[in-house]
Amino acid sequence: MPELPAPAAAPPTATQLSEVAYLELSFQAVYALRQGNVLAAEAPSEPHELANTARRRVAQSKFLVSLLIALLVGGSMLTLTSFIEKLFLVSTAANPIPVPLPLYTGTVIAGLLLLELSFLWMVGLQSLPTFLGSQILPVLETLPIPEKKLDRVALLVVFRLFDAPAITALVLTPIALGIALNSVFVGLLVIPGVVTVVLLAMGLSLRTGRFFVQHVQGSRGGLRASVLRWMYLLLWAVPAFGIYGFVSFGPQIMYGLAYLGRTAPSALGSLLLVFPFPFGLLPVFGLTGANSFSLLPGGDVWTTTLAALGYSALAAGVAWWLRKAPRELSRLSPEVQLTDQRKGARLHPVRAPAAILLKDLRTASRTPGYAFVILLPLIDAVVIGLSSFIGAPAPKSVFDLAAAAVSTTAILATFFGPAFFATEVMGYSYTRTLPLTNRSMLLGKSSLIVLIYIVASAMVVSLTVLRILDVWLFFAFIIAELPGLVAAAFLEIGLLFRRAQTAGVPVSLMSSGAWWATTVVLPGLAIAGLPITLFGILQFVGVSPIQSFVAMGGLALAELAIFSIFALGLPGRGRG
């Protein structure tokens, strides 16, 4: 039997293999060639230059996400200063029950942990389709690499998706809370909570990714299946809105807990065992000792510690599961739903801008990342609308809350403008061969932003209509803001087109760069926010609502006129 020749060099380690795989993942995330994009003629011709550009742009995006996590941590530090604390620790006319200090501190820390969990989960949700679409692991599967090493490579690649934001959370959170509460011991007690958060976020990302591949990606066409898909997407997007709920309703949650402590201490005690409260209360215990629990109705130091240990054990279980989960996920195929029911081949063409809108909605219904950016403004509208319906006593307050809901929706829809372009990356090279004008594209993408605003506003109206006596005021607000929103959409999408043409790259790729997106979003937010700001200022100085609406609407219409000229006069008739 002939002897196998000795290998010329030692086989690459899992870390080395994961470096190559991660570079390919970055390359696909930036250039999306496997999804049908074409390289711009002006792109660097040297492979290492392309690779360096991909590395740099992915690093920039990670830096921005890490910066946002740092901002969350910074915000939490601020809320732990005595100046803010004092606001909650005393009773007021609106909130007669003051919040006990341990409950306040514990809830702030728990809130921060929940925000970090939601944020990291969102990062995973947005990155996993690229991980799956890049097909890097199936390539490695064909090579003679041991199973265990393949598992490690897959895990390392997935960890690289989270590394900078996760490390930011792991390092910054204990340090910041230690400084804010002036205790190294408190900082140390935060660490188990942050580690648990990072592991759970990775686990949740992979688990929801698995659900996506199995139940959403292969779902058939048709209205019923579409509704079901949106419900699936809604279900798994809802926990991610923790980020939003906690930021929007932090004070209400705080007062709600204090109220519960006064009226039903045992219920509060049970609630405080729910993740991540135990990890929020442990540092409080470290700060003030067991005495702090005497101020915490229903709270108990031993059950809190036991609960924290339980969640830590769960995180350890997730870590064990994570050893093999990424590779298993990369090998999954969508579940095909075959049926003998044949509906014929009737097609229903629509006008080109409507076709773009429909395509985006259909794509979003099978792509969690895009579904999320559409659902976020809608859920925000429902949540704020509900709170106005349930909590606000006077019609004036209801109007303020409802107007806030509509304003937030307008801002959120504008914020995600460039993200709607990311859907174009898929199948882009083919779409570029279709007779699609820039104007159709502009109108199609803008109409998605407007549709989100209108649907969200309708939701708020339907939730608050019984509480607002002068409904027309509310309608006037919605209508007055609409031209400003369209102007913001035109500006954002017009900027994307122009920059794509100047830089000589496909327009779809502009949205994959976080810097590009930021520089496009900021002016868009300013344009959408200007009429709302004007309305607020006029109300503040005592101008009548009618005059305020006229001024707001006038400004919004002026914006629309200016940015219509800018956007509809786009250079070139083909797609950029």
* Site residues for other proteins per CB under 8 A: 34-36, 38-39, 41, 44-45, 133, 217-222, 333-334, 336-340, 342-352, 354-355, 358-359, 362-363, 365-367, 426-427, 429-430, 432-437, 440, 572-574
In the complex, what is the shortest distance from the CB of residue 492 to other proteins, in angstroms, rounded to a whole number?
22
Nearer to other proteins, 56 or 573 (CB): 573
Give the distance between the most distant pair of CA atoms in the chain: 97
Q: Which residues of 196-214 are buried (b: 16+ CB within 10 A; e: fewer)?
A: bbbbbbbbbbbbbbeebbe
Q: Which is nearer to other proteins, 375 or 460 (CB)?
A: 375
Rounded to the nearest whole angstrom, what is the least distance from the CB of residue 449 to other proteins in the complex? 20
Q: 488 in helix, strand or coil?
A: helix
User: Do 459 and 381 touch, CB atoms closer than 8 A?
Assistant: yes
Q: What is the spatial distance between Cα 196 and Cα 474, in angstroms, rounded to a whole number? A: 44
Q: How far apart are CB 132 and other proteins at their closest, in Å?
A: 10
- Residue 244 vs residues 112, 331, 463, 528: alpha-carbon distances, Å: 12, 33, 20, 20
Residue closer to other proteins, measured from CB, 68 or 352: 352
Find the helix or strand (DSSP H, E) in which 231 lies: helix 223-237
Minimum CB distance to other proteins smaller for 262 or for 362: 362
Tokens matching residue 57? 């742009």
How many CB atoms within 10 Å of residue 174?
22
What minimum distance in Å lies between the beta carbon of 508 and other proteins? 12
137 vs 186, beta carbon nearer other proteins: 137
Beta carbons within 8 Å of 297's beta carbon, 6+ residues apart: 100, 261, 262, 265, 268, 269
Smaller CB distance to other proteins: residue 288 or 501? 501
**Identity at 7, one-letter amino acid code:** P
Least distance to other proteins, CB of residue 137, Å:
17
Contacts for 383-386: CB closer than 8 Å, 24+ residues apart = 383/241, 383/244, 383/245, 383/248, 383/249, 384/248, 384/408, 384/460, 385/459, 385/460, 385/462, 385/463, 385/464, 386/463
Distance CA 549, CA 488 (A): 19
DSSP letters for 161-181: HHHHHHHHHHHHHHHHHHHHT
At its nearest, how many Å lie between other proteins and the CB of residue 30?
A: 17
Name which of 53 and 539 has its Cβ closer to other proteins: 53
* Cβ at position 362, least distance to other proteins in Å: 5
Nearer to other proteins, 324 or 362 (CB): 362
Residue 260 CB contacts under 8 Å (≥ 6 apart), including other chains: 267, 268, 271
- Residue closer to other proteins (CB basis): 86 or 348: 348
Residue 423 DSSP label: G
Compute the distance between CA of residue 58 and CA of residue 64 in angstroms, rounded to an integer. 10
Rg (CA), the chain: 26
Residue nearer to other proteins on the CB measure, 3 or 42: 42
Provide, rounded to whole angstroms, the least separation between the CB of residue 222 and other proteins: 6
User: Dihedral sign, CA of 292, 295, 296, 297?
Assistant: positive
Judged by CB, which is closer to other proteins: 214, or 303? 214
Q: Report in angstroms how near the CB of residue 125 gets to other proteins at its nearest.
A: 15
CB of 204 to other proteins, least distance (A): 22
Name 568's Cβ contacts closer than 8 Å, sequence gap at least 6.
Answer: 439, 442, 490
Peptide bond into 276 cis (omega under 30): yes
Query: What span, in angstroms and rounded, lies between the C-alpha atoms of 139 and 411?
Result: 42
- What secondary structure, in 3-state letters, does 4-35 show? CCCCCCCCCCHHHHHHHHHHHHHHHHHHCHHH
Q: Which is nearer to other proteins, 501 or 539 (CB)?
A: 501
Least distance to other proteins, CB of residue 124, Å: 19
DSSP type of residue 432: T
Q: What DSSP character marks residue 212?
A: I
Nearer to other proteins, 133 or 265 (CB): 133
The Cα–Cα gap between 456 and 376 comes to 10
Smallest gap from Cβ 430 to other proteins, in A, equals 6
CB atoms closer than 10 angstroms to residue 75: 15
Q: How far is the CB of 141 from other proteins (least distance, A)?
A: 18
